């Protein structure tokens, strides 16, 4: 289906971060946009306030009249996270509607436009958001579909007046293979989603295919050390094509220099902590330079980028208490998060609440989780958030706890964790996980906001 032929569009699973960005795009185009999700959240409430009709009942009786009949200008978008027995999804299937996955719709939108796509098992949300911010802040402009809520714009969707589109290219379910970018970035290829891929070799195969999706004359930027040989490399190492150096912490902010063959930018200030975010910034700056954006504008944009919600997000920052929330749910993401915390607050006791995400991920990376979680000072472990999965016998949070070398550790319910924090009021708290651990944030914030 061509983009201009779509006038009515229904999203099954509209509350997903990627789905909601596309819903906002079609609403801006003046299409009739409706959707279903099983849970009302802050994000779906925001969509409702923007004029999008959302139902929380999985039944055809909840469908608007204009979606009960199949029309040529109607498109149904769904996410693989929606159960296959969904009544609404099967109504559309049984009645011959045109159905496409979210990733396929991104392919339709970006077709014919100048596409910048960022892929990676981690780092892609921050990097794509940073690129979108630099392009927007500098006046270059872009339309962006992001995997997180940017704090600069309080949205996962930006709209520009030119034909440049920035997309977060998701490796889950091989969905990024619908894209054909002009510029692309691969931030990481650590094993993940093994419930889909089976092993790291098949995951790497998909990234190689993505690298080959570039349009003729396009450029791939790839983090140095990854097993892809046909791109411009970036890292924090001097032997890369583009790199960051002279990294230091000044007043709890990271400052660094950028280098590539044709350009050097000194004393860049980055509000996002951690060397991994400096590396993400190197990739974003490289894209901006490729587009010909002035270095002064790039430097100003980097300094003004405030990040993405749930990516090292400061919830409380007072003299008595620091509380940071992060979406990290893979051992390497946890490691990067904890390293950044230690660099910023080396003398404070680090208390962590972690909610594992998915039984398969917990099983596949149990040793890695145990190692990195053992590096904190005190750990509160919640039970596994199952998301789309059914339980696996013997795979639970106790599995991780038994493997850890840390002494100060325990498994608690969310309620018990809140009570413990209320009693102990730690000076440095980090909550991490991709499940529903974020529902604890308001109460934890209230507890620690007052010294």
**What pLDDT does residue 327 have?**
87
Q: How far apart are CA 169 and CA 207, in angstroms?
A: 11
SS3 95: coil
pLDDT at 132: 98
Buried b (16+ CB within 10 A) or exposed e, 246-281: ebeeeeeebbbebbbeeeebeebbbbbbbbbbbbbb
* Average of per-residue pLDDT across 45-51: 95
Q: Identify the pLDDT of residue 189.
A: 85
Considering the chain, what is the average pLDDT of its residues? 91
- pLDDT exceeds cutoff 80 at 110: yes
Q: What does the chain come to in residues? A: 451
pLDDT at 245 over 70: yes
Instruction: Tell me how far CA of residue 249 lies from CA of 35, 193, 396, in angstroms.
Output: 45, 34, 38
Locus of tokens 């706890």: 401
Residues 283-306 pLDDT 10s: 999 999 999 999 999 999 999 999
Cβ within 8 Å of residue 20, ≥6 positions away: 11, 14, 43, 44, 47, 156, 157
Instruction: Say which residue the tokens 């003729």 belong to.
Output: 216
Average pLDDT on 52-72 reads 93
Beta carbons of 60 and 37 less than 8 angstroms apart: no
Task: Give 301-335 pLDDT, tens digit per residue.
Answer: 999 999 888 888 899 999 999 999 998 888 988 99
pLDDT over 50 (residue 398): yes
pLDDT band at 387 (very low <50, low <70, confident <90, very high): confident
What does the angle CA 328 – CA 82 – CA 195 come to, to the nearest 5 degrees? 55
Residue 205 pLDDT level (bands cut at 50, 70, 90): confident
Can you tell me the mean pLDDT for 159-174? 84
pLDDT at position 194 is: 47
Give the whole-angstrom CA distance, residue 260 versus residue 244.
9
- What is the arithmetic mean of pLDDT over 424-443? 93
pLDDT tier, 193 (very low <50, low <70, confident <90, very high otherwise): very low
What is the rounded CA–CA span in Å between residue 421 and residue 380?
Answer: 10
Are 158 and 129 in contact, with CB atoms under 8 Å apart?
A: no
At residue 197, the pLDDT reads: 46
Mean pLDDT of 163-175: 81
Better-predicted residue by pLDDT, 253 or 237: 237
Domains of the chain in sequence order: 3-101 (3.40.50.720), 112-304 (3.40.1190.10), 313-448 (3.90.190.20)
CB contact at 8 A, 190 and 223: no
């Amino acid at each position: 289906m061509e983009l201009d032929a779509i006038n009515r569009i229904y999203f099954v699973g509209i509350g997903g971060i990627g789905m909601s960005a596309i819903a906002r795009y079609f609403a801006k185009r003046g299409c009739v946009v409706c959707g279903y999700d099983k849970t009302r959240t802050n994000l779906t409430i925001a969509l409702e306030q923007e004029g999008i009709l959302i139902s929380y009942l999985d039944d055809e009786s909840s469908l608007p009249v204009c979606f009960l009949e199949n029309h040529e200008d109607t498109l149904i978008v769904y996410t693989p996270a929606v159960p296959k027995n969904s009544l609404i999804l099967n109504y559309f299937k049984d009645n011959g509607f045109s159905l496409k996955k979210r990733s396929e719709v991104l392919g339709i939108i970006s077709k014919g436009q100048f596409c910048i796509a960022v892929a990676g098992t981690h780092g892609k949300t921050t990097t794509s958001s940073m690129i979108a911010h630099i392009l927007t802040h500098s006046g270059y402009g872009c339309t962006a579909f992001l995997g997180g809520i940017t704090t600069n714009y309080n949205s996962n969707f930006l709209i520009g007046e030119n034909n440049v589109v920035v997309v977060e290219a998701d490796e889950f379910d091989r969905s990024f293979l619908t894209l054909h970018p002009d510029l692309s970035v691969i931030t990481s290829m650590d094993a993940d989603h093994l419930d889909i891929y089976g092993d790291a070799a098949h995951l790497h195969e998909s990234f190689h295919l993505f690298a080959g999706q570039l349009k003729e004359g396009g450029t791939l930027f790839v983090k140095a050390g990854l097993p892809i040989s046909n791109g411009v490399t970036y890292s924090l190492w001097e032997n890369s094509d583009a790199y960051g150096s002279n990294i230091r912490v000044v007043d709890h902010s990271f400052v660094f220099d950028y280098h590539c063959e044709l350009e050097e930018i000194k004393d860049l200030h980055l509000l996002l902590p951690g060397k991994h975010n400096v590396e993400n910034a190197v990739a974003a700056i490289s894209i901006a330079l490729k587009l010909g954006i002035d270095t002064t504008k790039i430097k100003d944009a980097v300094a003004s980028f405030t990040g993405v919600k749930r990516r090292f997000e400061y919830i409380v920052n007072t003299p008595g208490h620091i509380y940071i929330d992060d979406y990290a749910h893979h051992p390497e993401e946890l490691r990067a998060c904890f390293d950044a915390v230690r660099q910023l607050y080396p003398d404070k006791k680090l208390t962590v609440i972690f909610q594992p995400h998915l039984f398969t991920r917990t099983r596949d990376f149990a040793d890695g989780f145990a190692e990195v979680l053992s590096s904190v000072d005190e750990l509160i472990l919640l039970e596994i958030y199952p998301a789309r999965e059914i339980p696996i016998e013997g795979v639970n949070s106790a599995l991780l706890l038994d493997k850890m070398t840390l002494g100060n550790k325990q498994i608690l319910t969310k309620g018990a964790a809140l009570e413990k924090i209320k009693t102990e009021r730690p000076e440095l708290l980090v909550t991490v996980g991709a499940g529903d651990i974020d529902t604890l944030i308001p109460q934890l914030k209230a507890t620690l906001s007052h010294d």
